């Protein structure tokens, strides 16, 4: 290094700093638990895409089939012109099925996602395939107060929240999101995907696939901490645990210590006893009536419901 040139440690991104702070907090509380949003780094997002294609993981396939079959019927609830707001937009694949059912000039599409680079790349792809579609991406955390682009004159604001991602919220977070959405969609409505209560074996298999992709997805959270934050813990110190908790109607995912061990993070040491877990995700399953009641408390009026013959998944129209 040349004399006089100071070498500085590159500054961690804001997201990495937040991950570090949240992981310290997660490991300090009893029982230990962290937000599932930290699953989704590059590796985690790729693993999630693989999960969506697994034979055991029915939600993606079932929701796509519902959208393919009923998109025109769903779109008929939107009114003649729509500002279509997709919450947590991601790869923008499912919305294409809705867009295909709408006259292009009648829609302004507003995908909202916290990850700017991914959102803009997905918008480029969409713009290439849907020439003439008005797209106004918004980089924001949609669970927090944000300002949507003004709704074009004569249009209704329609929300789209597929994937049963709401199931990963705590009940308080789900309620807060629905209230926020009901307020900003007033006069329009929300089309939302929810995963339904069903046979426990089907649920268990969906989160314990034979190829271990869900296990890798879960374990990646701590591997990410190793890569990004320099966390240290024994290589085979944790194992994937996923089970249905009927009292809360949710799948719980945990990382379970295989033996007594220490996890070192930024100068702190966090002890785990054998079998102790870090709770990484809950995935709530709903009844249609139960979800509609929750939505009604938040300010929506329940409307049409589309579900598959086995009633494993549903898309709900909620009038705001
Ligand atoms: C994104 N979310 C709706 C998925 C779910 O089913 O709760 C995340 C997931 N976790 C394990 N497998 C898939």
What's the 239 CA to ligand 1 centre distance in angstroms? 18
Residue nearest to atom 3 of ligand 1 (CA): 165
Of residues 158, 5, 22, the one with CA closest to residue 80: 158
Over residues 207-218, mean pLDDT:
98
Contact 297, 148 (CB under 8 A): no
User: What pLDDT does residue 9 have?
Assistant: 47
Q: Which residues of 275-285 are buried (b: 16+ CB within 10 A; e: fewer)?
A: ebbbbbbbbbb
Tell me, yes or no, if the pTM score tops 0.90: yes
- Spatial distance between the Cα atoms of 245 and 141, rounded to a whole number of angstroms: 29
Contact 109, 84 (CB under 8 A): yes
Tens of pLDDT, residue by residue over 278-317, are: 999 999 999 999 999 999 999 999 999 999 999 999 999 9
What's the 93 CA to ligand 1 centre distance in angstroms? 17
For residue 1, is pLDDT > 70? no
User: What pLDDT does residue 266 have?
Assistant: 94
Contact 287, 314 (CB under 8 A): no
User: What pLDDT does residue 117 have?
Assistant: 85
Sign of the dihedral through C-alpha 299, 304, 308, 310: positive
118/204: higher pLDDT: 204
- Spatial distance between the Cα atoms of 87 and 19, rounded to a whole number of angstroms: 22
Percent of the chain with pLDDT over 70: 96
User: What pLDDT does residue 307 have?
Assistant: 98
Tens of pLDDT, residue by residue over 268-278, are: 999 999 999 99
For residue 12, is pLDDT > 90? no
Over residues 179-195, mean pLDDT:
98
Question: What interface predicted TM-score (ipTM) does this complex get?
Answer: 0.99
For residue 5, is pLDDT > 50? no
- Which of 2-16, 96-110, 303-317 is predicted least confidently? 2-16
For residue 6, is pLDDT > 50? no
Q: Which residues contact 109 (CB under 8 A, 6 or more apart)?
A: 84, 86, 95, 99, 126, 133, 134, 135, 136
What's the 236 CA to ligand 1 centre distance in angstroms? 24
Of residues 160, 157, 174, the one with CA closest to residue 93: 160
**pLDDT grade for 211, boundaries at 50, 70 and 90:** very high
Percent of the chain with pLDDT over 90: 89
For residue 8, is pLDDT > 60? no
User: What pLDDT does residue 161 have?
Assistant: 98
SS3 annotation, the chain? CCCCCCCCCCCCCHHHHHHHHHHHHHHHCCCEECCHHHHCCHHHHHHHHHHHCCCCCHHHHHHHHHHHHHHHHHHCCCCCCEEEEEECCCCCCHHHHHHCCCCHHHEEEEEEECCHHHHHHHHHHHHHHCCCCEECCEECCCCCCCCCCCCCCCCEEEEEECCCHHHHCCHHHHHHHHHHHHHHCCCCEEEEEEEECCCHHHHHHHCCCCCCHHHHHHHHHHHHHHHHHCCECCCCCEEEEEEEECCCCEEEEEEEECCCEEEEECCEEEEECCCCEEEEEEEECECHHHHHHHHHHCCCEEEEEEECCCCCEEEEEEEC
Q: Are strands 268-272 and 261-265 parallel, antiparallel or unpaired?
A: antiparallel
**pLDDT grade for 11, boundaries at 50, 70 and 90:** low
Over residues 92-113, mean pLDDT:
95
- The whole-chain average pLDDT of the chain stands at 94
What's the 186 CA to ligand 1 centre distance in angstroms? 29
Over residues 194-198, mean pLDDT:
98
Q: Tell me the best of 35, 38, 45, 48 to mutate to test the pocket of ligand 1, counting ligand atoms within 8 Å of each CB and taking the most.
A: 48
Structure tokens at 77: 């609830």
What's the 165 CA to ligand 1 centre distance in angstroms? 7
What's the 122 CA to ligand 1 centre distance in angstroms? 21
- Spatial distance between the Cα atoms of 30 and 320, rounded to a whole number of angstroms: 39
Residue nearest to atom 2 of ligand 1 (CA): 165
For residue 3, is pLDDT > 60? no
User: What pLDDT does residue 196 have?
Assistant: 98
Tens of pLDDT, residue by residue over 136-166, are: 999 988 998 999 999 999 999 999 999 999 9
Ligand 1, pocket residues at CB < 6 Å: 51, 59, 163-165, 167-168, 207, 214, 281, 283
For residue 89, is pLDDT > 90? no
């Amino acid at each position: 290094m040349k004399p006089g040139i100071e070498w500085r440690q590159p500054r961690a991104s804001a997201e990495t700093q937040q991950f570090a702070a949240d992981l310290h907090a997660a490991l300090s509380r009893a029982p230990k638990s962290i937000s599932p949003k930290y699953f989704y780094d590059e590796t985690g997002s790729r693993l999630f895409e693989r999960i969506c294609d697994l034979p055991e993981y029915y939600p993606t396939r079932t929701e796509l089939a519902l959208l393919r079959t009923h998109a025109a019927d769903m779109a008929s609830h939107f009114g003649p012109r729509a500002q279509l707001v997709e919450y947590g937009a991601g790869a923008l694949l499912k919305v294409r099925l809705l867009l295909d059912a709408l006259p292009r000039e009648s829609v302004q599409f507003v995908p909202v996602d916290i990850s700017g680079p991914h959102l803009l790349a997905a918008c480029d792809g969409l713009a290439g395939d849907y020439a003439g579609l008005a797209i106004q991406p918004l980089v924001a955390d949609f669970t927090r107060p944000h300002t949507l682009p003004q709704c074009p004159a004569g249009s209704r604001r329609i929300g789209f929240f597929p994937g049963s991602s709401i199931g990963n919220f705590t009940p308080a977070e789900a309620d807060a999101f629905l209230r926020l959405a009901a307020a900003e969609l007033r006069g329009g409505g929300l089309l939302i995907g929810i995963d339904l209560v069903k046979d426990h074996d089907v649920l268990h298999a969906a989160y314990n696939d034979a190829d271990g992709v869900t296990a890798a997805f879960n374990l990646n959270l701590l591997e990410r901490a190793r890569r990004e934050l320099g966390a240290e813990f024994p290589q085979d110190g944790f194992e994937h645990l996923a089970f249905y908790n009927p009292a809360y109607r949710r799948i719980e995912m945990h990382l379970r210590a295989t033996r007594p061990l220490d996890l070192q993070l930024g100068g702190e040491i966090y002890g785990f006893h054998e079998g102790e877990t870090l709770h990484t995700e809950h995935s709530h399953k709903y009844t249609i009536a139960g979800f509609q009641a929750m939505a009604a408390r938040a300010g929506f009026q329940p409307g049409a419901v589309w579900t598959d013959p086995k009633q494993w998944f549903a898309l709900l129209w909620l009038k705001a």
